[in-house]
A and B are shown apart, each in its own frame.
Chain A
Amino acid sequence: MAPGDSPEIPASQLTSSQLTSIANGAAAAGPFSSRQLFRIDEALTAADRETGLTFSVYVGGLEEPLRASAETMLDALPAPEDSVLLAVSPNQRALEIVTGIRAAKRIPDRACELAGMSMRAAFQGGDLAGGIVTGLRMLADRAGTPRPASR
C-alpha cells in the first residue's frame, strides 16, 4: 500500500469481520488498495441509503455450483429478502448477482444482467473495484427509493 494512498477510512462504516480486519491493517491481504476500499464503501453506503435494501459484495472463490453457493451466502445475511449480493470470483472469472425475493421485485433480472455486463467489462480490464462500484450504482439506480407504502 502506497503511503500517500491511504485516506482516512471511517472505521464505523467498515463492517463485517472482513472490514474490521482491514481497519486493523490487514488490507494488504485483500485485492484492493485503501483508496479502492474507500470507493467501494462509499458506493455500498450510498446504495443502501438510497434504496433501503442491503447491498453486499463478496470477492473471492465460490464453490461449485457457483449459483447455489452465492444464494447460500445471500441467505446468510441478516435480511436476505431485502438484500442484494454481488459475488465476484476472479479465479473462476465468474460473477453472480443474487437478489432476495423482495429485492428482486425492485431490481428485475434484466437490470441485473445489464449491471453484470458493465461489471464484467471492467473486470476484463482488470479493474475489480471499478466494476464493483459501477455495478452497485447501476443496481441502486434501478431499485430507486423505497415506496412510502412499503415502509
Chain B
Amino acid sequence: MSVLETTLVFVLIPLAVAGVLALLTLGVGGGNRTPRYRPGMPFEFTPVWFLSAPPTGLSVNGRQPALERAAAPGVLQSGGVIDRPDTVSVANSGPKGGARGTW
C-alpha cells in the first residue's frame, strides 16, 4: 500500500465513522431536546405551583377570590415575579404535619 492508501484506510475512514456517530448523537435530536432537571446542575426554570382545580366559590362578578387571595402571598404570577411571603402576612392555619428531606 502506498502512503496515500494507508492514510485513507487508517485515518480518514475511522475519522468519517467517528464523525457520523458524533453527528448522530449530538446533532440529531439536539435541537428539540427539552431542557430538564439534572441533579447537581443549577435549576434555572420558572417556579411553578400546581393546583388540580380552580378554587371554588366564584364571586358574583365572576372573579375568583380564592385565586386572588392566593395570588397575594408567594404565589407566582404568570410573569414569574414572586411576592415574597415575608412582605405579606398570611393567617396561620394552625399546627401542621408533614415531612422533609434532602437528596
Q: What is the interface residue range for chain B against chain A?
A: 35 or more
Known: A2-B34, A18-B48. A123 touches B43 (CB 8 A): no
- Shortest CB distance B41–A (Å): 9
Collect the chain A residues with CB atoms within 8 Å of residue B59's CB.
none
**Contacts A41-B52, A90-B37 known; A74 to B93 CB distance under 8 Å?**
yes
Q: How many residues of A contact B (CB 8 A)?
A: 78
> Is the Cβ of A56 less than 8 Å from the Cβ of B97?
no
Whether B98 contacts A109 by the Cβ 8 Å rule is yes
Known: A76-B73, A116-B100, A120-B103. A17 touches B53 (CB 8 A): no
Q: Are B45's CB and A123's CB within 8 A? A: no
By a beta-carbon cutoff of 8 Å, the part of chain A in contact with chain B is: 1-3, 5, 13, 15-22, 24, 26, 28-33, 40-41, 44-45, 47-48, 54-61, 63, 66-67, 69, 71-78, 80-81, 90-101, 103-104, 107-109, 112-113, 115-117, 120-121, 123-126, 128
